[in-house]
Structure 1
């Protein structure tokens, strides 16, 4: 796929470099940009009404303010990100939020943090059988409400 997707003007290379700084590598898990999440972030942002326009605007604004972001060193990239967050908190938040959503959906992250991703019921956390005696004291109380 080309650097720009067909439905947006978001440069995947800029997004991947940004992801590398926002969510760096840890132990055997690569940074978010190196995990190849940029395409999924762009795809998902296009499908979510709450992200569609603001994410495209955020990435466009970030790229136009920081035209040399990809070729900058880590310290310069971090400074650019901090400045963008400070000057455009809503736009920055849209980038960060959807990046986290996609990152924490990834099976590699699930494995790294030890999360199964399964729903708790019916196969997960088993509950003790209900003990009716728990309500015994409440049943002995006089009603403190008015019948209507």
Structure 2
């Protein structure tokens, strides 16, 4: 497996973290974010978020007192929960990439009852909601300056 711009150790830590972020579920029939196909997509999709991912993984390394992958599973969960609180914007960027890749996996989309395809050109049917919920927005004064 290629790791893009991540080192092998960073990729190993990221894969374990992704599995904690979104674990596999036999009840729902979905893989975790650490699944081989999903994780390969995560590595490919880091692109502009690579620097944030590396910063987040360095923070994770510091919180772990060494490689995250070297920790016992119980300790890994504890460190991940602490990292969730302290990770800041680099973790937010990393989380976004993990979620995007996870939810574009065909197996996950099928488990959600969705056809695994792009939304266009067919589109998706959206049920009509209660348009009166927008009334407070329509009634408020403009928030912009007239030109």
Please tell me the TM-score bracket, short chain as reference.
0.5 to 0.7
Structure 2 gaps of 5+ residues are 127-147
C-alpha separation in 2, matches of 1:107 and 1:121: 18
* Structure 1 runs (4+) greater than 3 angstroms displaced: 120-126
TM-score of the aligned structures, taking structure 2 as reference length: 0.67
Give the match for residue 38 of structure 2: 37
Does the CA-based 8 Å contact 2:60-2:68 persist in structure 1? Answer: no
- Cα distance, 1:121 vs. partner? 5.3
Q: CA RMSD in A?
A: 2.6
Tell me the secondary structure at the aligned position of residue 70 of structure 1. Answer: helix
Deviations 1:4-54 (A, max 9, x none): x253336222111111111011123232213442332122112xx3x2321
Structure 1 gaps of 5+ residues are 127-148
TM-score of the aligned structures, taking structure 1 as reference length: 0.67
Higher relative contact order (CA 8 A, sep 6+): 2
C-alpha separation in 2, matches of 1:13 and 1:122: 38
Alignment length (residue pairs): 121
